[in-house]
Amino acid sequence: MKVLAAGDHFVRNSLITEALRRDLGEGAAEIRELTLPWPLEPFGPVAEVREASDAEDALIKALDGVEVCVTQMAPFTERVLAASPSLRMIAVCRGGPVNVNAAAARARGVRVCFAPGRNAAATAEFTIGLMISALRRIPEAHHSLALEGDWDGSYYTYEHSGLELEDTAVGLVGYGAVGSRVARVLCAFGAEVEVFDPYVRGDVHGMRSRSLEALLSRSRVLTLHARLTPETHGLIGARELALLPPGAVVVNAARGGLLDTEALCDALESGRLAAAALDTYAEEPLPEGSRLLSTPNLVLTPHVAGASRAVAHKAARIASAEVARYVRGEPLSHELS
């Protein structure tokens, strides 16, 4: 069987190949490699698929005679699939196969699986880091001391001091793999956790809110963990931000489209919000001259919450395990329906 490891500079081909050889056995498959440029070059839309590396020609060439491809960013467009008649399975090393034209794959009998939860721990930890950074003004203090040489005593004044997580009301919108981990950590900090997620049944860490509006009215800190869907696009706009208590803090390491950043900037500039921390944006990379780059009291990171070495290893292992199930004729654990 011929397998293509189409890795990149995060989920490396060496990790994919090592996992495949462990799960399939040495010599069980002929593994060829294609290295894609992400993240040194941003992903984006390629033909009809979202969030992929622009490498259709190189992928078509590498897929010649290949039955299985393990990848994170390869663009499986209609054109690529049509040019790859031997292909029978695509194992995507990410939480959703947004780089695959699912309908075209299904029409050709190509099975598609993915790696849900691979970055849940990393993103949850990073979210807590963003939260504390915004609450305690850590990036500002670092910049003042390390880059300007200013031992600024104003950080210790009452009006400029930040909030603690202990005894602070923190609202979570979304309680999936990431949100549930964040809630658990916040409870350990002693925060007063409240969760809004109409799709989750059973117990949650903290209190369950019956409505988004009720949660917002009580949240000194708001953190977003919902999936981006047509229903949740723009979920938090000017009306919702106005429901937060004065001086609240907003954190988003989920999807940029959940939050109206123009409304966020307005609330920060007016002083209605104390701070915000963002890792994801509706447009990535941020366009030159973005208002976010000049708005005060914002902590910004370039969509790196899921960037840990452990995530790269987990992604390769999850995808490889799916390939092994395919080879053995077993049901796949995470197949796109």
Q: What pLDDT sits at residue 255?
A: 95
Q: What pLDDT sits at residue 145?
A: 96
Distance (Å, whole) CA 321 – CA 327: 10
* Stretch(es) of the chain classified as CATH 3.40.50.720: 2-118+308-328, 120-300
Distance (Å, whole) CA 114 – CA 128: 26
- Spatial strand order in the sheet of 221-224: 207-208, 192-196, 169-173, 221-224, 248-252, 273-278, 298-300
Q: What pLDDT sits at residue 337?
A: 85
Angle ∠(227,231,237) on CA atoms, nearest 5: 90
Q: What pLDDT sits at residue 322?
A: 98
Q: What pLDDT sits at residue 273?
A: 98
Distance (Å, whole) CA 20 – CA 115: 15
Q: Which residues of the chain have pLDDT under 50?
A: none
| 49, 55, 61, 65: CA torsion to nearest 10 | -40
* Residues contacting 243, CB < 8 A, separation 6+: 213, 216, 217
Distance (Å, whole) CA 80 – CA 60: 6
CATH architecture of 2-118+308-328: 3-Layer(aba) Sandwich (3.40)
Residue range 120-300, CATH number: 3.40.50.720
Catalytic residue positions?
255, 284, 303
Q: Please state the pTM of the whole predicted model.
A: 0.92
Residue 126 structure tokens = 């990073």
Distance (Å, whole) CA 277 – CA 131: 7
CA separation (Å) from 62 to 32, 83, 238? 8, 11, 48
